[in-house]
Structures are given as C-alpha cells and as structure tokens.
Structure 1
Amino acid sequence: MGKVLPLLALRAFTETGRTGSIKSAAETMGVTSGAVSQQIRLLEERTGVTLFRRTRYGVELTEAGAGVYPALMRAFAQIEASLATLETSTGRQTLTVSTLPSFAASWLVPRLGKFMEQNPEIEVRVEASSGLTNLHGGRVDIAIRHGLGDYPSYDVQPLIAPELVPVMCPALLASGPAIDEPSDCLAYPLLQDSDRADWRLWLTACGVEPTPEAERGTAFDDDFLLLRAAEAGQGIALVRDIYARPEIAAGRLALAINRPWPTQFAYYVLTLPENAQKPAVKLFIEWLHQEVATESM
C-alpha cells in the first residue's frame, strides 16, 4: 500500500483494452485521445512493458498487456461496486447515463435540472460518447442511442423519432434568394452530415432530382456542430427537429422551408434486462418518457 498507484493511467489502459480504440476510450473517460495516449505511454515507461500494438482497425493488447488486463478490469469493477455500496449506505444513489454528445448538449442536459429537483437523492452522471457503450461492464446504467432499435441482449425502449428539418441563420435567409420550394435550397451552401446522404435523401423525398451539388459542402459528424455552422451563416443544415426547436425559438435559427422529413432512425433507451426494474433506473426512464410526452403536447 506504500506505492502511489497511477489509477488514471490504469483506467486509460483498461478502457483502451476493452474498446480496442484510443478514441473510444477517450470518449468513455471524457478526455481527449491525446490524454489517453499520454497516460498509456506513462504506464509503459513506468513498467518498461509495451502494452499495445497498432492494427489497421485500432489497437490490440500485446501478450504482456493481455496478461494483466482481466485482473485490472475486475479491480475497477470492484472499486465501482464498493463506491456504490458506500453511496447506498448514505442514502445516495448514482445513476450513470451514456448518450450522444449532441443529444446530451441539446436535449438531455437542459432538462436534467427538473429530474434533480424532483429526485434529490439520485445523482446523475452523464457520459457523452458516440460509440455504443457496453452496459455489461456495470459502469453505465442507461444508454440512449440513435439507430434502428436493433440492440441484442438489451432491454430496448423507443424514446423519440425526430424528423429532419432544413434550418439556417435568419440573416442569411433574409438576404439570400427566396426559398419557396425544396429545390431552392440548392442556391445555398449545403451543410452535410458525415455520410453526405441526408440532403440527397431529403431532396428525393421532396420530389427533387438530386444534383452533384446535393452532396457538396462542409461535412460534420455531429448535429451539434451542424447547428453551430448554420448559426454562423455558413449554409443550410438538415438537423433533427428536437435540436432545432430551441434554436429557432431563441431566434438563432430559422426554418428554411417547412418540409420536415421523417427518417427510419429513432432514439432508444437501453438497459440490461436485470437492471430495468431497479428503482433509480426505472424512475429515470419514466421521467424521460414524460419529458417527451410533455414536449409533444
């Protein structure tokens, strides 16, 4: 017990080993990829052992790293279980929720104060991550993900099925060419999703034959970034209506044209079947559904 343990470095090692990705480990820990790489490098320098090797898909454990990985995973699980026991003994409960950065910033976090006021005995920890968190590790209680609902081994509840709407800076809309038909959007720079597919699909759904311009423009891998680019007057963005509403209400964005497009994707709440009926988990999920119902009234 005399040594000072490099817990942050050990956590970076275990998360990277679990995910096979420094980027995913950084998202889980809420730090940068550079910080995770630095911690792993410090651990390797301290032990004199190479812990990972790079592959075309990410990183993988070396033989030495694989030898200690299971024990460290169990150790962190025991630490978390002990912390949960201490919190339970004082009447406090901690609930960890993993969700997408854009959903956390634009929808969940602004509403979270209501839940805390109603349930002061529950402390909520929000982790923003774009990857699908493995709930079997015991660290995350609830995950909110965007997809088609196909999440084997989890208890899955549909939450919101947003529509995509075209939005832009009010000043750009007022000073540029009029937008009376969906095809008129092509007169402006189009801000793209990471796959450059949404504009093409939206135009097709609106009866417009897409042109090469429909797939050109700056691309972003997160709706939050698309919103910021649109607010800065860089073009028109197709974003989910649940993110656009507060920005439109605040006057930071305007509808380019009122032609919402329902997609097949929705937000789902994921839990382990054995955790779905835990009081804090059940209470939080019920609150999520109440917030959605209140918003749609």
Structure 2
Amino acid sequence: MPVSQSTSFRAALRKTQRPTMSPRPPLTALYAFATVAQCGSLRKAAHELCVTPGAVSRQIQALESYLGFRLFERGAHQMELTPKGVELQARVGDKLASVAAEVSLLRRGGHKAVVRVDAGVTFAMHWLLPRLASFSEAQAGLEVQLGTSGGPITLSTRVDLHIRRDPADLGDLAYQPFLEEWSVLVGSPGLLPGAPFSLPEIVKDIPRIGARSRPTLWSQWGAHHQIQSSFLEPTLEFDNTVLAIQAALEGLGVVVVPEIFVSTMLQRRLLSLVDPQRVLTGHYSYAVRSRQESTAVLTFLEWLRGQAS
C-alpha cells in the first residue's frame, strides 16, 4: 500500500468518535470489517491495513453500533463471524474488493493487475476454468493468467499462486487446503445393465479403467466398500485421468475419478453414476509464492475459497 494511501487510511481508522447515524454507511468501518472477516483476527487485519489492532477494533465497534447488532464473537486469538456478520460479508465482501480493484486499475492508467496461477491441467480444465468467467465479471480490474503443470512446482517460473492436490508437490512453501476431493464410480449409460446389480458384479464383469497418474483411486474406493484391492486391478490403464475419462465416455469400462472432473458430464448424462456414494480421496491446496501477498492475490484467494465452499 503506498505511503500516502496508508497514511490517509490510518488517519481515518484512528478516529475514535463513533459516526453519527446517516443514510450512508461508514465505508472505512466496512472496509475494516471486510479485512477482519478475511484475515480472521484483529492483529492480521491491522497488519494488512498498516494500523494498530486497537484502531481496527474501534472501527468494528462503530460499525456494530451503526448497524445495531454484533458482527463478531471475539475469542482469545481470533474473531468468529456471527450469523449477521456472515450475511454482511456475503453482501459486501466481493463489492468492496471490486471497488478496490477498479481504483487500482485507474491508478495504473487502465492496466489490469495480474494474478499468475499454476494448477494441474485436469483440475484447471474441469474446475477452475469454468468458474473464471464469474471472477472476471466481478473483478474487471484483475486478470488471471492460468498456466498448467503437474508434479512438483518449479520455483524458476513467474507464478503468484500454485494449486496442487499433493502437498509434497508444493515443496517448502506454506500451503492451505481449500477444497475436498470426492471421487465416484462412473460409466457410459449404454454400458451399464438396466436390471439391478451389485457393485462386486459390476467391477468383476465390466472392464475397470485406471489412470497411472492416480494409481490409488480404485483401492481407496474399494476400501470404502470393503472390496479387496486384488479384485480391483485396472484391466485398461491410461497415463492420466483425462484419457481415463475419455475411455469411459467411449464405453470402454467403468472408472473411479474425482467428481469435480465429471460433474458436467453427469449433468448432461454423458456418464452415469454406477454407485451414488462419494469417497474422500484427497484435498486441493494452494500456496502463495510472494512473501507479501498483493491486493490482487488476496482478492483472488477470497474468491477461490468462496467457490470451494
């Protein structure tokens, strides 16, 4: 945050007098509220805003007085949103971030801030890309540059944010899980019998498709259903889940894959659930490369967590 902007915001926050009731809400206090809601504590929010925790606390109190209800339950080390606080965050959080992005865009002479994201190709194709349009609409001043790679990250590349399923691929970077991965057993509708069937019969009589990039999916699914993994060795195996899913679409067999990769295909009835039960097979985590997270990166992370929830 530039010195002049930080100084003016600090001066606004240090006003201890409560604002008088007026048709317009106290915007400085609203911005302080959104920052605390995002950071989860007064100390972290104060660091983000370059002010003291006491100054942030006074703004939260002023906003609660203005609204007539509590926004946070105050704990020893963190601030928990009340139901009313959750509602307010949902109503104003994205809008305040959008205003900040638009102002930043004007200050840069019309040049958009860029967030460089690196993710696995299948995750990017099936989960992240379909959602980026909504981010672009809400954050016109920000541009997401999405790159794809697999396995351990490469620190030599220019990236702000990495997303991986395996935390080991993130090296020594601090990471934060944000999305659970649930997997399902699917197959082509024309391949599945119309009469009632048992799962052991299906996995015995119909070819099992596997992906070498995700060798444990079948065993994880089998453990959930108490089916021995020796009966679940793939009869057809491909390099990755992209090819495994395509093989299932072609009617070559059934496959265990993350639900987020095939949700659109299930909705369009290109694939059918063989088993309605979902099995937890992992988590996706993000790691931020830069030591000082920029406003653009923080805005993207807030949106990312919102999409996952």
Instruction: State the TM-score bracket (shorter-chain normalisation).
Output: 0.5 to 0.7
Please give the alpha-carbon distance, in whole angstroms, between the structure 2 residues aligned to 1:238 and 1:204.
13
Number of the residue aligned with 1:287: 303
Equivalent residue for 2:238, pick from 209, 220, 224 = 220
User: Does the C-alpha gap of structure 1 residues 196 and 131 become closer, same or farther in structure 2, counting only changes over 3 Å?
Assistant: closer
Number of the residue aligned with 1:166: 185
Is the counterpart of residue 157 in structure 1 residue 173 in structure 2?
no
Q: Deviations over 1:240-280 (max 9, x none)?
A: 111222211111111011232212x21101112514x3111
Number of the residue aligned with 1:230: 248
Number of the residue aligned with 1:274: 291
Report the secondary structure of 1:289's partner residue: helix
Higher mean Cα deviation, 230-239 or 180-189? 180-189
Instruction: Check the 8 A contact 2:266/2:272 in 1, yes or no.
Output: yes
| TM-score of the two chains, using structure 2 as the length reference | 0.59
Report the secondary structure of 2:287's partner residue: strand
Alignment of 1:67-78 (within 5 A): none
Report the secondary structure of 1:171's partner residue: coil
Please give the alpha-carbon distance, in whole angstroms, between the structure 2 residues aligned to 1:261 and 1:220.
21
Is the counterpart of residue 247 in structure 1 residue 265 in structure 2?
yes
Number of the residue aligned with 1:45: none
Number of the residue aligned with 2:153: 133
Gaps of 5+ in 2: 1-106
> Structure 1 residue 284: deviation in Å?
0.7
- What is the percentage of aligned positions where both structures have the same residue? 26
User: Does the C-alpha gap of structure 1 residues 171 and 99 become closer, same or farther in structure 2, counting only changes over 3 Å?
Assistant: same
Please give the alpha-carbon distance, in whole angstroms, between the structure 2 residues aligned to 1:270 and 1:182.
40
Equivalent residue for 1:146, pick from 165, 169, 173 = 165
| TM-score of the two chains, using structure 1 as the length reference | 0.62
Please give the alpha-carbon distance, in whole angstroms, between the structure 1 residues aligned to 2:217 and 2:283.
15
> Structure 1 residue 227: deviation in Å?
1.8
Number of the residue aligned with 2:220: 201
> Structure 1 residue 182: deviation in Å?
4.3
Report the secondary structure of 2:184's partner residue: strand
User: 1:279 is aligned with what amino acid?
Assistant: T
Instruction: Check the 8 A contact 2:162/2:289 in 1, yes or no.
Output: no
Report the secondary structure of 1:131's partner residue: coil
Instruction: Check the 8 A contact 1:95/1:141 in 2, yes or no.
Output: yes
Please give the alpha-carbon distance, in whole angstroms, between the structure 1 residues aligned to 2:168 and 2:269.
34
